[in-house]
């Protein structure tokens, strides 16, 4: 049995005026330690799918199993990194990274020191007593990563976590997140609009087609790219041709092109 099993998901949003089928026929599995990206045109249902996988939204039809159990029973095993860092502005960095542990009543000396060690490891040792406003956007996203990993989630949902950052910071953070998730053997699902980011960070890229969202194609990344950092992957000789084939498929999904 796979680590994550998404089975026959359909989802329709009902409003008083209309019904919008956002997703149809979505079935796939993800193995433990795998990094998967969801890519596709705006409105194809990426966020809806992420919300269903994390059990924030109940699908109209279908099931999501995490380690063979309904994901609704495993909500506290899912961590998030979002476009905004959502750090509490009045709390220090240390209080912010320990917040999840504190709220779930899991805070102890061991996981506190592990969280502070990780902060140090990713180059932020010494900022513990500072407030988020004293840090740059990239530093705050690194703090958000530590806060997410502190609760030791089994599955990480990354919803465009780099899209608000400047290009250089984004590339550096992609490397850091990738290296940290590898080190901890974490499974992750990334929503992104950036084809390059999807190629560079993922083991597999799922391309979704719109109206309703379906899995149009799955691109398995070559072993050569999986073994290296996202930055190195962007400079690898195989990268341009993979980019071209995903780009071509994306173009074919535009309205009027079949």
Identify which of residues 13 and 88 has a Cβ nearer to ligand ATP in the complex: 13
Identify which of residues 53 and 116 has a Cβ nearer to ligand ATP in the complex: 53
- Of 45-53, 79-87, 90-98, 177-185, the segment contacting ligand ATP by CB under 6 A is 45-53
Q: How near is the Cβ of 48 to ligand ATP at its closest, in Å?
A: 3
- Of 36-44, 70-78, 196-204, 219-227, the segment contacting ligand ATP by CB under 6 A is 36-44
Q: Is 22 in the site for ligand ATP (CB under 6 A)?
A: yes
| CA distance linking residue 34 with residue 37, whole number of Å | 10
Cα distances (Å, whole numbers) of residue 36 to 39, 92, 238:
10, 33, 19
Q: Is 205 in the site for ligand ATP (CB under 6 A)?
A: no
Q: Is the dihedral of CA 114, 86, 164, 93 positive or negative?
A: negative
Q: Is 89 helix (H, G, I), strand (E, B) or coil?
A: coil
Q: How near is the Cβ of 130 to ligand ATP at its closest, in Å?
A: 32
Query: Of the candidates 104, 53, 99, 48, which has an alpha carbon nearest to the alpha carbon of residue 76?
Result: 104
User: In the 8-state DSSP scheme, what is residue 213?
Assistant: B
Question: What is the maximal distance between C-alpha atoms in the chain?
Answer: 59
Q: Is 20 in the site for ligand ATP (CB under 6 A)?
A: yes
Q: Is 46 in the site for ligand ATP (CB under 6 A)?
A: yes
Report which secondary-structure segment, H or E, holds 8: strand 4-14
Please count the residues of this chain forming the interface with ligand ATP, following the rule CB under 6 A: 12
- Of 46-54, 85-93, 129-137, 161-169, the segment contacting ligand ATP by CB under 6 A is 46-54
Q: Is 47 in the site for ligand ATP (CB under 6 A)?
A: yes
Decide: 214 and 257 in contact? Cβ < 8 Å: no
The first and second tokens of residue 97, run together, are 């990274």
Q: Which of 37, 48, 141, 187 binds ligand ATP (CB under 6 A)?
A: 48
What residue ranges bind ligand ATP (CB under 6 A)?
A: 13, 15, 20, 22, 40, 42-48
């Amino acid at each position: 049995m796979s680590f994550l099993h998404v089975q026959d998901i359909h989802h329709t949003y009902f409003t008083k005026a209309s019904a919008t089928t956002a997703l149809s026929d979505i079935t796939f599995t993800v193995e433990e330690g795998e990094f998967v990206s969801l890519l596709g045109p705006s409105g194809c249902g990426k966020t809806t799918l992420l919300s269903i996988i994390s059990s924030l939204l109940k699908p109209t039809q279908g099931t999501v199993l995490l380690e063979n159990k309904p994901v609704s029973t495993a909500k506290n095993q899912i961590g998030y990194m979002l476009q905004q860092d959502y750090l509490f502005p009045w709390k220090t960095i240390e209080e912010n990274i320990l917040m999840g542990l504190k709220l779930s009543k899991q805070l102890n000396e061991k996981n506190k020191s592990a969280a502070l060690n990780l902060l140090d490891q990713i180059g932020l040792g010494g900022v513990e007593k500072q407030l988020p406003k004293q840090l740059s956007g990239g530093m705050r996203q690194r703090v958000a990563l530590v806060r997410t990993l502190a609760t030791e989630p089994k599955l990480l949902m990354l919803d465009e976590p780099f899209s608000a950052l400047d290009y250089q910071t984004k590339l550096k953070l992609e490397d850091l997140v990738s290296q940290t998730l590898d080190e901890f053997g974490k499974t992750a699902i990334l929503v992104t609009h950036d084809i390059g980011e999807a190629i560079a960070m993922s083991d597999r890229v799922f391309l979704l087609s719109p109206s309703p969202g379906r899995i149009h194609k799955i691109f398995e990344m070559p072993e050569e790219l999986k073994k290296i950092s996202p930055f190195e992957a962007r400079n690898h000789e195989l990268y341009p041709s993979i980019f071209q084939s995903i780009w071509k498929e994306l173009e074919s999904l535009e309205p009027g092109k079949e």
